[in-house]
Amino acid sequence: MRRFVSFVPFVVNSFFMNDATPTTTAARTKPLLSVKDLVVRYTLGPGRVLTAVDQVSFELHPGETLGLVGESGCGKSSLARAVLQLIRPASGNVTFLGQELTRLNGAALRSMRRQMQIVFQDPRGSLNPRWRVGRIVEEPLRVHRLAERDQRKRMAHAMLAQVGLAPAYFEQRPAQLSGGQQQRVGIARALVTRPKLVVCDEPVSSLDVSIQAQILNLLQGLKEELGVSYLFVAHNLGVVRSLSDRVAVMYLGQFVETAPSAALFERPLHPYTMGLIASVLRPDLSARAQLDRAASYAAGDIPGLLHAPPGCRYHTRCPYAQQRCREQRPALEKVDGQDSHQVACHYWREIARNA
């Protein structure tokens, strides 16, 4: 599929009045998104409360991609949705473009949504089956009153072209498209308002490997062309690595390690991170041996959130667990004084020394 690159963004961008890119150095280094001590809870019944996200903090800078990885029950999807206020957090702050989102409601919150969008995992479930593709992509422009009818149509066409869909798809319904094509529509819809932040919630998990590659390329290309920041949620480490600048690893509602992408994969410090990396089976002849290694880092099953272990939540599966781990929850510590690499483990230094 050819890339409709050069002229399209210029043509479309001229329609946006508020689309100012930061020009001063200060504006460029200020975080786009700042999350502090975020807590998300679900009430399952009288006296049964699930804490899906337990005091998580992080920053996202303009044009950056932060990967959020973890397995079932880690809270990554809840975290991503709470940032966008699709679920309201129980406590904590979410500062986006200088605004405190947790305090916004109604029209004020809606107007912020122009700048923060989401691509869902299941394209089939997130596209209205009765609407045509063109209308789906035009919808955000209509809701935020960004263009009149004819202009909307032109912009939707341009956006579809940018995601690699020919004009003919404009009049089709989602069911007539393949999974990969539907996901392109989902991406077009998310980007048509030129948001500064896009949450990608497992966008390629339901796609075949060959289609996955196309969509990842598309996301990377759009990031380069439009300077958008991604909060990229995935459980596949290889996928996260290819797209992310920084990665945060979550386990049972907490960050256990955050680091620049390269550092995380070259020098993982938390036993869970090591376990996750070891569990990715490389298709080569050492695969059988890899199984042994993988199983040694992460024994047993992931406990449900309702039965989250005391102290360090990972201690029930950790090969290095000590008494202190069973009693005291470790805080995120900076590695070598760097803000960029942090790990929540009582014994990470000793483990690293012996690795």
Partner 1 sequence: MLEIKNLHTQFSTANGLLRAVDGVSFALHQRAAIGIVGESGSGKSVTALSILRLFGPLDKVSIRGEILFEGIDLVRLSETELRRIRGSKIAVVFQDPLTSLNPVMPVGEQIAETLRFHRRLNKAAAKARTLELMELVGIGEVARRYGDLPEQFSGGMRQRIMIAIAIACEPKLLIADEPTTALDVTVQSQVLMLLNRLRDELGMALIMISHDLGVIAATCDFVQVMYGGRVVERGHIQEILNRPNHPYTAALLRLVPRIDGPVQRKLNPIPGQPTPIFASVRGCCFAARCEFVTERCRTDDPPMHDFGNHHVSACWLAEERELGALTTKSTRITK
Stretch that binds partner 1, among 25-33, 148-156, 167-175, 299-307 (CB under 8 A): 299-307
Site for partner 1 contains 50 (CB under 8 A) = no
Q: Let me know: does 68 contact 246? Beta carbons within 8 Å.
A: no
Region 242-261 residues binding partner 1, contact defined as CB under 8 A: 242-243, 261
- Nearer of residues 104 and 226 to partner 1, judged by Cβ: 226
Interaction of residue 304 with partner 1, rule CB under 8 A:
yes
With a CB cutoff of 8 Å and minimum separation 6, the contacts of 334 are 341, 342
Structure tokens at 4: 């409709």
| Cα Rg of the chain (Å, integer) | 21
Smallest distance from the beta carbon of 245 to partner 1, in angstroms? 10
Name the one residue in this structure whose structure tokens are 């600048």. Answer: 245
Site for partner 1 in 181-220 (CB under 8 A): 181, 208-214, 216-218, 220
Draw the binding track, 145-164, toward partner 1 (x: CB under 8 A; -: no contact).
Answer: -------------------x
| Span between the terminal Cα atoms of the chain, in Å | 45
Q: Rounded to whole angstroms, what are the CA distances from 304 to 12, 183, 193?
A: 47, 31, 38
Edge to edge, the sheet with strand 48-60 lists 48-60, 33-45, 91-96, 99-100
Q: According to the binding rule CB under 8 A, does residue 320 interact with partner 1?
A: no
Torsion sign, CA atoms 209, 214, 217, 219: negative
Residue of 279, 309, 332, 352 that binds partner 1 (CB under 8 A): 279
- Tell whether residue 340 is a contact of partner 1 (CB under 8 A): no
Q: Is 309 a residue that touches partner 1 (CB under 8 A)?
A: no
Stretch that binds partner 1, among 36-44, 51-59, 108-116, 284-292 (CB under 8 A): 284-292
Q: Does 175 bind partner 1 (CB under 8 A)?
A: no
109 binds partner 1 (CB under 8 A): no
Residue 243: CA count within 13 A, CB half-sphere: 33
- Of the listed pieces 78-86, 115-123, 147-155, 271-279, which binds partner 1 according to CB under 8 A? 271-279
Cα separation of 155 and 168, whole Å? 15
**Residue 34, interface with partner 1 (CB under 8 A)?**
no
Which candidate, 322, 300, 296, 295, places its Cα nearest to that of 311?
A: 322
Q: Which of residues 120 and 297 has its CB atom nearest to partner 1 in the complex?
A: 297
Quick one: 96 or 230, whose CB is closer to partner 1? 230
Q: How far is the CB of 35 from partner 1 (least distance, A)?
A: 25
Q: Which of 59, 71, 122, 333 binds partner 1 (CB under 8 A)?
A: 71
Instruction: List the 65-69 sheet strands across, edge first.
Output: 116-119, 197-201, 229-234, 65-69, 246-251, 254-260, 338-343, 333-335
Give the DSSP per-residue string, 129-194: TTS-HHHHHHHHHHHTT-S-HHHHHHHHHHHHHHTT--GGGGG--GGGS-HHHHHHHHHHHHHTT-
- C-alpha to C-alpha distance for 94 and 64, rounded to whole angstroms: 17
Residue 172 within binding range of partner 1, rule CB under 8 A: no
Among 144, 236, 320, 329, binds partner 1 (CB under 8 A): 236
Would you say 287 or 331 has its CB closer to partner 1? 287
In the complex, minimum distance from the CB of residue 327 to partner 1, in angstroms, rounded to a whole number: 24
How many other C-beta atoms are found inside a 10 Å radius of the C-beta of residue 129?
A: 9
The residues binding partner 1 (CB under 8 A) are 1-3, 71-72, 164, 178-181, 208-214, 216-218, 220-221, 235-239, 241-243, 261-262, 265, 275-285, 287-288, 290-292, 294-295, 297-299, 301-302, 304, 317
